[in-house]
């Protein structure tokens, strides 16, 4: 367990030009007025929430400017060739990979995750630019023979228009790339609103977009702290914006959906999760525990697909618990930029308090047993929390009903397949689920019965640009990545040619 000392973040980067301090609109970095309010970006992994940047808290007029710029740019950008857009996207992928370590440093500094996790995020996020560079020339339509023999019909996929992208703090780079890559590939222009806790990654990405040569106004990034809800409302209600995509909480997603109804914008949402990690007694125990660690503790549990509750078949609970305990005790908690740190900090004190509350509820109200006490590490800083492991957790505990988004591993015993499926589906959300068994019948039965958009079998890490990512129920709708990833950024136009001459 250790801290990390530094004075100037520019000295931590090979390319200090990646650090930008204003919004990026219409191909230009806005000038900060003396009268403009500002907000501070802090390092959650420091001992005293060290301020690492101070950025302008822009007025609402910046959103109008960004939407206008994106709308004007769209008129020309939509007519660029798929190969040209693919070339820009490929260049952007290359730039991200060339600057991967610096971009990872920025993620660590503003988010708190370990450098290895941050570097993994950057490389993962960059793959979306590569993937959609390859998908851009493949927006195929269909030829249709209607009932009228003298008519011919064909369809084409066209870009929906200006896209408003609203992103969270937990993946400050990859959540933007996953959305923007698909939008830019099909010919849409974008306005990006990053979370004010983690804007530096978004601004660094905008800088690389500029270097990649995208046309002015095709990509815009706006900053706000105090007026974030008003920024979202602007994007939703402006009729020039034809699509809203958001990753974040279910509550905010519902608000945005209501607001977008006024302009009939297309929407796609990746919202809250509460992933069950189901372990059957016939699993490969070592492999399962290794994957459990990866699924639960990446980013200290602050991921939307993070395993939230561990349903372990009763006969296997003692062995599973002991093997998992051994690995968790080997963690080294510290500042994410320390080479010795396996895990960094939580994003803020609210995340820490929620984790504490879920632990207290499981133990004091529902009789869970403490395997590893864990808890706050104030000697490292206000946002550090050593993982807690509990066993014999009741399904009625808060941790089973709500998403913890923190380093609490809650082990719930079960006996039958039917019982664990019922436990898992007793939830309003359905993003990701995990199933571990050597029995292929069990794998198929359970994965098909689970009410979630994604089921990962015998692996704890499944995110990939080639797969469709998204949930069901109150986890939202729409799919990101894969060949389906362009669907939410396009509209299908049907063209009919009638009264043709009779066939020869």
Model confidence band, residue 2 (pLDDT cutoffs 50, 70, 90): low
- What is the arithmetic mean of pLDDT over 150-162? 97
- Domain boundary assignment for the chain: 37-271+478-491, 275-464
State the pLDDT at residue 33: 62
Q: Answer for the pair 336, 384: CB distance below 8 angstroms, yes or no.
A: no
Instruction: Say yes or no to pLDDT of 368 above 90.
Output: yes
Over residues 277-310, the pLDDT tens digits come to 999 999 999 999 999 999 999 999 999 999 999 9
Q: What percent of the chain has pLDDT over 90?
A: 96
Residues ≥6 apart with Cβ < 8 Å to 332: 1, 2, 340, 341, 342, 343
> Dihedral sign, CA of 127, 129, 132, 134?
negative
Select which of 58, 110, 121, 270 is catalytic: 270
State the pLDDT at residue 34: 60
**What are the CA-CA distances from residue 314 to residues 200, 278, 321, 411, 414 (Å)?**
46, 12, 11, 10, 5
Model confidence band, residue 504 (pLDDT cutoffs 50, 70, 90): confident
State the pLDDT at residue 31: 84
- What is the arithmetic mean of pLDDT over 375-402? 97
Q: Answer for the pair 408, 355: CB distance below 8 angstroms, yes or no.
A: yes
Q: Which two tokens stand for residue 43?
A: 């390092």
Q: Answer for the pair 481, 129: CB distance below 8 angstroms, yes or no.
A: no
Strand-pairing partners, residue 469, are 480
Q: Which two tokens stand for residue 219?
A: 């990509």
State the pLDDT at residue 5: 85
- In this structure, the strands spanning 162-166 and 241-247 are parallel
Establish whether 270 is a catalytic residue: yes
- The mean-pLDDT minimum among 36-40, 141-145, 207-211, 488-492 falls in 36-40
Model confidence band, residue 3 (pLDDT cutoffs 50, 70, 90): confident
Instruction: Say yes or no to pLDDT of 156 above 60.
Output: yes
Model confidence band, residue 51 (pLDDT cutoffs 50, 70, 90): very high
Fold entry, domain 275-464: Aldehyde Dehydrogenase; Chain A, domain 2 (3.40.309)
What is the chain's Cα-based Rg?
A: 24
Model confidence band, residue 358 (pLDDT cutoffs 50, 70, 90): very high
- What is the arithmetic mean of pLDDT over 487-504? 94
Instruction: Say yes or no to pLDDT of 256 above 70.
Output: yes
CB-count burial class (<10 Å; 0-12, 13-18, 19+) for 95? buried
User: What's the helix, strand, coil split of the chain in %, to 5?
Assistant: 40, 20, 40
- What is the arithmetic mean of pLDDT over 181-203? 98
- The DSSP secondary-structure symbol of 365 reads I
Q: Which two tokens stand for residue 494?
A: 């049907």
Question: CA 89 from chain center: how many Å?
Answer: 20
Residues ≥6 apart with Cβ < 8 Å to 350: none
275-464 has the same fold as 37-271+478-491: no
- What is the arithmetic mean of pLDDT over 119-133? 98
Instruction: Say yes or no to pLDDT of 167 above 70.
Output: yes
d(CA 163, CA 488) in angstroms, rounded, equals 10
Rounded (10°) angle between helices 61-77 and 228-237:
40
Instruction: Say yes or no to pLDDT of 380 above 70.
Output: yes
State the pLDDT at residue 35: 57
d(CA 317, CA 22) in angstroms, rounded, equals 52
pTM summary value: 0.96
State the pLDDT at residue 328: 98
Instruction: Say yes or no to pLDDT of 375 above 90.
Output: yes
State the pLDDT at residue 181: 98
Model confidence band, residue 1 (pLDDT cutoffs 50, 70, 90): low
Strand-pairing partners, residue 29, are 24
Phi first, then psi: what are they for 489, rounded to 5°? -110, 10
d(CA 356, CA 369) in angstroms, rounded, equals 15
CATH code for the structural domain at 37-271+478-491: 3.40.605.10
Q: Answer for the pair 387, 408: CB distance below 8 angstroms, yes or no.
A: yes
Strand-pairing partners, residue 246, are 166, 269
């Amino acid at each position: 367990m250790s801290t990390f000392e530094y004075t100037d973040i520019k000295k931590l980067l090979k390319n200090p030009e990646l650090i930008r301090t204003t919004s990026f609109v219409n191909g230009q970095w806005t000038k900060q007025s003396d009268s403009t309010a500002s907000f501070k970006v802090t390092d959650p992994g420091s001992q005293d929430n060290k301020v690492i940047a101070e950025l302008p808290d822009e007025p609402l007029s910046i959103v109008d400017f960004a939407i206008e710029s994106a709308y004007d740019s769209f008129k020309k950008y939509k007519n660029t060739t798929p190969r040209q857009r693919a070339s820009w996207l490929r260049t952007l992928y290359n730039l991200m990979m060339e600057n991967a370590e610096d971009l990872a440093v920025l993620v660590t500094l503003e988010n708190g995750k370990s450098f290895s996790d941050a570097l993994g995020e950057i490389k993962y996020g960059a793959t979306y630019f590569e993937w959609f560079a390859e998908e851009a020339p493949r927006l195929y339509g269909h030829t249709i023979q209607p009932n009228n023999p003298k008519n011919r019909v064909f369809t084409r996929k066209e870009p929906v228009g200006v896209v408003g992208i609203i992103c969270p703090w937990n993946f400050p780079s990859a959540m933007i790339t996953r959305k923007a890559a698909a939008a830019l590939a099909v010919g849409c222009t974008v306005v990006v609103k990053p979370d004010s806790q983690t804007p530096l990654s978004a601004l660094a990405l905008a800088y690389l977009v500029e270097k990649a040569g995208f046309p002015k106004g095709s990509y815009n990034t706006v900053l706000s702290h105090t007026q974030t809800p008003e920024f979202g409302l602007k994007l939703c209600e402006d009729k020039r914006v034809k699509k809203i995509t958001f990753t974040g909480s279910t509550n905010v997603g519902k608000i945005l959906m209501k607001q977008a109804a006024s302009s009939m914008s297309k929407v796609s949402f990746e919202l809250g999760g509460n992933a069950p990690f189901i372990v059957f007694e016939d699993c490969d125990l070592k492999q399962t525990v290794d994957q459990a660690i990866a699924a639960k503790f990446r980013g200290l549990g602050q991921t939307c697909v993070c395993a939230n509750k561990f349903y372990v078949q009763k006969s296997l609970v003692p062995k599973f618990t002991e093997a998992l305990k051994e690995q968790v005790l080997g963690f080294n908690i510290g500042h994410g930029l320390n080479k010795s740190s396996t895990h960094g900090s939580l994003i803020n004190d609210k995340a820490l308090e929620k984790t504490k509350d879920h632990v207290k509820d499981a133990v004091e109200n529902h009789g869970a047993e403490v395997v590893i006490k864990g808890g706050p590490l104030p000697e490292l800083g206000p946002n550090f929390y050593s993982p807690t492991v509990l066993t014999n957790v009741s399904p009625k505990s808060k941790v089973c009903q709500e998403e913890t988004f923190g380093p609490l591993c809650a082990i719930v015993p079960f006996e039958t397949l039917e019982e664990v499926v019922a436990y898992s589906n007793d939830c309003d959300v359905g993003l990701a689920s995990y199933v571990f068994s050597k029995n292929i019948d069990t794998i198929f039965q359970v994965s098909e019965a689970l009410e979630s958009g994604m089921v990962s079998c015998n692996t704890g890490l499944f995110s990939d640009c080639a797969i469709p990512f998204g949930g069901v129920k109150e986890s939202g709708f729409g799919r990101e990545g894969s060949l389906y990833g362009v669907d939410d950024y396009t509209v299908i136009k049907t063209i009919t040619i009638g009264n043709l001459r009779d066939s020869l």
